[in-house]
Structure 1
Amino acid sequence: MKNSVRVAISGAAGRIANNLLFSIASGQLLGDQQPISLSLLETPARLSMLNGIAMELHDGVFPLLAGVEVSDDPWQAFEGADYVFLISSPLDSLATASKTADARMEQHGNTFALHGKALNDVASRDVKILVISNPVMINALMVQRNAPDLNSSCISALMRLDHNRAHALLAHKAGASLADVRKVIVWGNHSSTQYPDFYHATIGGVRVDALLENDWLHQVSIGLVRQRGYAVIDAYGGLRAASSAAKAAIDHMRDWIFGTRDGDWTSMGVLSDGSYGIPSGIFFGFPVVADGGQVNIVQGLQICPERLEKIHHSADEIYRRCQQFNLL
């Protein structure tokens, strides 16, 4: 049996984490031959709940689960971490969001700055850190700015939920198998400015513009993907998506570790190098390929001025927010 690896999760008492933890313990992240130790981080006020989750993990008798630790100290929780999912302690329901957006963002920023410092001090030097909580691109940059000793390639931001939504929507519209859909992109931010892009997508090797009407592909679908999260919230009576977000986090991390499938890419928030005119130094959702644990932005895509304007609109939103919080 292999030596165990250490997986740390912040905001571990929340709904996303609750779905994520049991999937990881069952081997869905690293496979059925890799033992794992879980390190769970929460605020002091939620430690009692977290202890209950730890009990359930133990009672689940997961063969791969080598241990579970619970803490409210990020330096303890992130010690030697190989893989980290940063969910903070977000509000599960919009109905409980009494603070202004800026106040919530400032609170999150302080949390992610602290987490960045702890990760910088104690995590594995090859750690893979996935930031999940919104505003996800700002939070990822906050971590990166506070972890100067970690390579920026160790940090990424979740766009996979939006990518998966676009992928599933396209398959459903075409009446096709999910496995046959390739080269979907969701550019930009996890917000209403994101740009779902089917221009390069194929189904069974055939370009989708030969299979579906242009208006749906390049107009209607954009709104459907952008609004999907709000549709879920409405259906749940105010609760945010949790199961699909946890699945997206695992999909993101698995592609990062094991590589994207041949002939395909995924959407991932990574630090911009200036590709496609996106300002360097901000985190942004790009099409990427992964291989051997390394992620590279797909280069050379033909993008017309109209589509590029939509992509840059999302970049402008992120850039302004970064400036607002003195991150640039």
Structure 2
Amino acid sequence: MMTELMMVIAQENLEAHIEKELEKETQKDLISPLQVWITSATSPACYNLLPILMSGEVFGMQTEISLTLFDKEQSEELLKSLVMETQDLASPVLRSVSSCTTEKYAFHQAHVVIVLDDSTEEEVYGLEECLRSKVPLCRLYGHLIEKNAHESVRVIVGGKTFVNLKTVLLMMNAPSIAHNIIAVALGVEGQAKAAVARKLKTTASCIKDVIIWGNISGNNYVDLRKTRVYKYDSAIWGPPEFSRPVLDVIFDSEWVKREFVMTIKSLTSTGKQFGRILASHSIATTLKYWYHGSPPGEIVSLGVLSEGQFGIPEGIVFSMPVKFENGTWVVLTDLPDVEISQQIMTRMTSDLIQEKLVALGDMLTFQPYHSETELSLRDRRLSLASTDDKQEEQNDHQDSIFSDQAPDDEKDAVLSDEST
């Protein structure tokens, strides 16, 4: 009798458990997960980005993610392996993870699209060809996002090559969501903070409000005029919220004007040290700010479409100071004392405009911008070089004349030496 009763109770418990699980599944179906797509998913940056996304730090622990890894068809086996590794993380925020190699299905109902550097096996010759090579993929992605993605999709472009150009090309091919396409500039900002921190012998996290202007992966201007250092060990000390202007504590102005500028220029122009860790962290942090807001009072650098702010020409993607709040970003046009000289502005905008024109075929060759001062110095160097050449020719001519006028006995001596 007891056995039969236990069997009945066990059956009732099983039915109750099944009913409860079905109810959970129904509730899950009512809560639509965040559809996140990552392009070029087999790139190194993606490997470091996935654990950050799965940690719940970016979108929050209450937001479930349905992740799709998108790449070329020849990467299918690598994608399968990456899907399994992502599942192995056993993340509580991961609803599902899958891969996609079919273009027509790409970005289906995507809420977030993360565009990473595309890995190409084709050999590209010259800057102009490299610029034009970005157009087909950006055109494809733009059309697919416009067609397949959710109407409120957010597109974030990261990487170390032609970030501004790829962003503006995506905007051109996905005009209805152009306002929701941004370029990540936090990588360069992080490099600048670290360089300043090394100079001051402090940590990079104590450096705030560095502004990156212009071309994120090219000709940019790192602005330290608003930059402040916190928790700095000096004669003046205060509570944790106390800070000092960086330019007031760096007494080596030559370092700021020369070594610092050249260091950042070298890093951004070559992509050196902008590896998978920095790229993934920059993307994740920017996404976190976009969804939850940036730290109150802090300045964040972001590549956005210019609408004429700060005297920047319209129609180009330009890194400028912003803040994130209420699920969007706002350009900080009210910042005092951030005017940029016409020469610096022209240098940055000229390159960005030319990149776009060359990529679209409206200009054949890229002509690096040179200021009047640089042109004057170049002309002067050429003039001096020409003068030196003429002087050398004149000296050679004079030597020839003098040798012809040498006494006969000296000539004979030379001849005798040669003959022996």
Per the TM superposition, whether the score is higher than 0.5 is yes
Aligned to 2:376: none
Correspondence for 2:91: 62
Does 1 or 2 have the higher relative contact order (CA < 8 Å, sep 6+)? 1
The aligned counterpart of 1:139 is 166
RMSD: 2.3
How far did 1:89 drift? Answer: 2.3
The yes-or-no answer on 1:248 pairing with 2:275 is no
CA distance in 1, matches of 2:92, 2:340: 53
- Matched-pair contact (CA < 8 Å) for 2:58–2:284: yes
User: Post-superposition shift, 1:303?
Assistant: 3.7
1:212 and 2:250 correspond? yes
TM-superposed deviation, 1:90? 2.6
**Greater CA deviation, 23-32 or 203-212?**
23-32
The alignment partner of 1:267 has SS state of: strand
Rounded Cα–Cα distance in structure 1 between residues aligned with 2:297 and 2:156? 24
Counterpart residue number, 2:240: none
Residue identity matched to 1:215: E
The 3 A distance-change label for structure 1 pair 218 and 298 is farther
Alpha-carbon spacing, 1:169–1:132, altered in 2? closer, same or farther (3 Å): same
Greater CA deviation, 283-292 or 67-76?
67-76
Contact map agreement 2:52 2:58 (CA 8 A) in 1: yes
In 2, Cα distance between equivalents of 1:305 and 1:5: 40
Secondary structure in 1 aligned to 2:303? strand
How far apart, in 1, do the equivalents of 2:182 and 2:102 lie? Answer: 22
2:265 aligned residue: 226
* 1:120 is the counterpart of 2:150: no
Give yes or no for contact 1:41–1:71 (8 Å, CA) kept in 2: yes
Q: Which has the higher helix share?
A: 2
Other-structure match for 2:213:
187
Matched letter for residue 166 of structure 2: N
CA distance in 2, matches of 1:186, 1:219: 17
Q: Secondary structure at the match of 2:175?
A: coil
Q: Which structure has the larger Rg over C-alpha atoms?
A: 2
Question: Aligned pair in 2 of structure 1 residues 292, 75: CA closer, same or farther (>3 Å)?
Answer: farther
User: Counterpart in 2 of 1:52?
Assistant: 81
Which residue among 19, 24, 31 is the counterpart of 2:53? 24
> Could you say which residue in structure 1 is the equivalent of 2:69?
40
Q: 1:304 to 1:288 in 2, by over 3 A?
A: closer
2:123 corresponds to which residue? 98
Which residue matches 1:302?
337
C-alpha distance in 2, partners of 1:97/1:168? 35
Counterpart for residue 292 of structure 2: 258
Aligned pairs (5 A) from 1:80-99:
80-90=109-119, 98-99=123-124
Return the letter of the residue paired with 1:197.
D
Indicate the SS of the match to 2:215. Answer: coil
Q: 1:319 maps to which residue?
A: 353
Structure 2 letter corresponding to 1:209:
L
- The one-letter code sitting in structure 2 at the alignment partner of 1:123 is A
One-letter code aligned to 2:140: L
CA distance in 2, matches of 1:97, 1:175: 44
Q: Provide the rounded CA distance (Å) in 1 between the counterparts of 2:222 and 2:74.
A: 39
The answer (yes or no) to whether the contact 1:183–1:202 under 8 Å persists in 2 is yes
Question: d(CA) in 2 for partners of 1:140 and 1:42?
Answer: 19
Alpha-carbon separation, structure 1, partners of 2:92 and 2:186: 28
Q: Which residue of 2 aligns with 1:5?
A: 34
Counterparts in 2 of 1:88 and 1:42: CA distance versus 1, 3 Å: farther
Which piece of structure 1 moves more, 256-265 or 10-19?
256-265
Gap change, CA 1:263 and 1:310, over 3 Å in 2 = same
Deviations 1:233-273 (A, max 9, x none): 4x8xxxx6111111111111111221121111111100001
CA deviation after TM superposition for structure 1 residue 88, in Å: 4.9
Matched residue SS, 2:41: coil
Distance 2:269 2:171 in 1: 29
**Secondary structure of 2:301's match?**
strand
> What corresponds to 2:199 in structure 1?
173
Q: CA deviation at 1:163?
A: 0.9
How many angstroms apart in 1 are the aligned matches of 2:340 and 2:64? 49
Aligned mates of 1:22, 1:30 — CA distance in 2: 13
Question: SS at 1:149's partner residue?
Answer: helix
Name the residue aligned to 1:72.
101
- Verify the 8 A CA contact 2:217 2:269 in the aligned structure 1: no
On the 8 A contact 1:86/1:132 being kept in 2, the answer is yes
Residues 280-316 of structure 1, C-alpha deviation per residue, up to 9 Å, x if partnerless?
Answer: 011011111111122121114424554x522331121
Residue 386 of structure 2 corresponds to: none
Q: How many residues align?
A: 317
Q: C-alpha displacement at 1:9, in angstroms?
A: 0.4
Q: Distance in 2 between matches of 1:111 and 1:270?
A: 20
State how far apart, in whole Å, the 2-side matches of 1:327 and 1:287 are. Answer: 31
Q: Which amino acid aligns with 2:196?
A: L
1:161 is matched with which residue: 167, 187, 211?
Answer: 187
Using structure 1 for the length normalisation, give the TM-score.
0.89
In 1, are the aligned partners of 2:132 and 2:360 still within 8 Å (CA)?
no
